[in-house]
Amino acid sequence: MSEPVQTPQTFQSRIFSGIQPSGGMTLGNYLGALKRFAELQNRGIETVYCVVDLHAITVWQDPEKLRNQTREIAAAFIASGIDPTRSILFNQSQVSAHAELGWIFNCVARIGWMYRMTQFKDKAGKHAENSSLGLLAYPSLMAADILAYKATHVPVGEDQKQHLELTRDIAAKFNHDYGVNFFPITEPLIEGAATRVMSLRDGSKKMSKSDPSDQSRINLTDDADTIAAKIRKAKTDPEPLPETVEGLKDRPEARNLVNIYAALADTTSESVVAEFAGAQFGSFKPKLAELAVEKLSPITTEMARLMADPAEIDRILNRGADQADAIAQPILAQVKDIVGMIRRREV
Ligand code: AQP
């Protein structure tokens, strides 16, 4: 888990990642992203984290809910261990470099690259012609989020791997088209036992904050009884837990619960299977519920405390936006020089 972060080429190590305020936070977001974000911050690497509201509006968001969800995601970052005095924490739309660089990347990236993205296919469904242009261009804006900070590493869940490959393609094409070695070729950091937490109702579907079924996910705002009830009702199969992880191969729901346990307990799936080999789900599920409540309750409580003072969250996000601007604006100015845009100067 704590391998040294290798910096590609000659760029200074910098971590960037973001989370959409498109709903409440799930256990998937926590294990696949937030928990890792805090670990990286605690390893002393420069960390820049963002609530990506420009991404959220690629599908319809109620304006009042969007404001609330943005603050709730910021609260979840802090409650999960992101310290705004050690990491930069801000809201994407407050730093205009994201949208500006996103546009330049729209002119570097190819439309065909966007149509190949599985997330676009999943979200646009059968009515791609009716989806927003922003949904198609989402990965181009994501490349801008990362490269506006020349981030060298991006911790994400498995579902974002394809988008990160596109970020690398955009950086490489920009460098090639303009004959520069300006942007790093960013490395994804996809590590740990729960890089893809699955729905509690369907082991073939990712746990997602926008899934219509609340039973499919554990929300970071769920209380202890709700968490226990959702785990008790989680879909499983009638077999006991196997002797080895290979025995989980064709058992997606069982594998998911084992992986969740391992990630929450900071251990490996192998050691969870070794501990519970032969156990029935009737005895494993209560243990998992107990562990989930133990790990998530302090986060839920802290989120509620922070949400009681939205003005303080806004102040934290404002400070973060100033710090983010200080890094991104000079990089954007250099991009404009490279592209051949005349910079606005003081007169
Ligand atoms: N189920 C998951 N398992 C592991 N990691 C996950 N992530 C999301 N779901 C899981 C990781 O959380 C980070 C933030 O993701 P996001 O909110 O920006 O977008 P998403 O990946 O599309 O997440 P959702 O919950 O599925 O949101 P909606 O429903 O709005 O699309 C990313 O690092 C992601 O990998």
Nearest CA to ligand 1 atom 35: 157
Cα–Cα distance for residue pair 148/182, rounded to 1 Å = 11
- pLDDT above 90 covers a percentage of the chain that reads 89
**What's the token pair of residue 32?**
């696949």
Contact (CB, 8 A) for 191 and 252: no
Residue 157 Cα: closest atom of ligand 1? 35
**Cα of 208 to ligand 1 centre, how many Å?**
6
pLDDT 10s digits, 116-144: 999 999 999 888 899 999 999 999 999 99
Residue 52 Cα: closest atom of ligand 1? 18
Contact (CB, 8 A) for 160 and 27: no
**Cα of 138 to ligand 1 centre, how many Å?**
14
Cα–Cα distance for residue pair 199/206, rounded to 1 Å = 5
Whether 65 sits among the annotated catalytic residues: the reply is no
Nearest CA to ligand 1 atom 7: 29
Whether 206 sits among the annotated catalytic residues: the reply is yes
Ligand 1: which of 54, 66, 160 to mutate, most ligand atoms within 8 Å of CB? 160
For every residue of the chain, which 3-state class applies, written as one string? Answer: CCCCCCCCCCCCCEEEEEECCCCCCEHHHHHHHHHHHHHHHHCCCEEEEEECHHHHCCCCCCHHHHHHHHHHHHHHHHHCCCCCCCCEEEEHHHCCHHHHHHHHHHCCCCHHHHHCCHHHHHHHHHHHHHCCHHHHHHHHHHHHHHHCCCCCEEECCHHHHHHHHHHHHHHHHHHHHHCCCCCCCCEEECCCCCCCCECCCCCCCECCCCCCCHHHCCECCCCHHHHHHHHHHCCCCCCCCCCCHHHHCCCHHHHHHHHHHHHHCCCCHHHHHHHHCCCCHHHHHHHHHHHHHHHHHHHHHHHHHHHCCHHHHHHHHHHHHHHHHHHHHHHHHHHHHHHCCCCCCCC
Burial class (CB in 10 A: 0-12, 13-18, 19+), 341: exposed
The pTM score is: 0.93
Domains of the chain: 14-195+309-339 (3.40.50.620), 214-305 (1.10.240.10)
Which residue reads 């009515």 in tokens? 127
Residue 155 Cα: closest atom of ligand 1? 33
Ligand 1 pocket by Cβ (under 6 Å): 19-20, 22-23, 26, 28-29, 32-33, 156-157, 159-160, 195-197, 206-210
Residue 223 has a CB neighbour count (10 Å cut-off) of: 13
Whether 123 sits among the annotated catalytic residues: the reply is yes
pLDDT 10s digits, 246-284: 999 999 999 999 999 999 999 999 999 999 999 999 999
Residue 90 has a CB neighbour count (10 Å cut-off) of: 25
Longest distance between any two alpha carbons in the chain, whole Å = 76
Catalytic pick among 123, 173, 205, 235? 123
pLDDT tens by residue, the chain, 347 residues: 445 555 555 788 999 999 999 988 999 999 999 999 999 999 989 999 999 999 999 999 999 999 999 999 999 999 999 999 999 999 999 999 999 999 999 999 999 999 999 999 999 988 889 999 999 999 999 999 999 999 999 999 899 999 999 999 999 999 999 999 999 999 999 988 889 999 999 999 999 988 999 999 999 999 999 999 999 999 999 999 999 999 999 999 999 999 999 999 999 999 999 999 999 999 999 999 999 999 999 999 999 999 999 999 999 999 999 999 999 999 999 999 999 999 887 65
Residue 19 Cα: closest atom of ligand 1? 18
Catalytic pick among 35, 126, 161, 206? 206
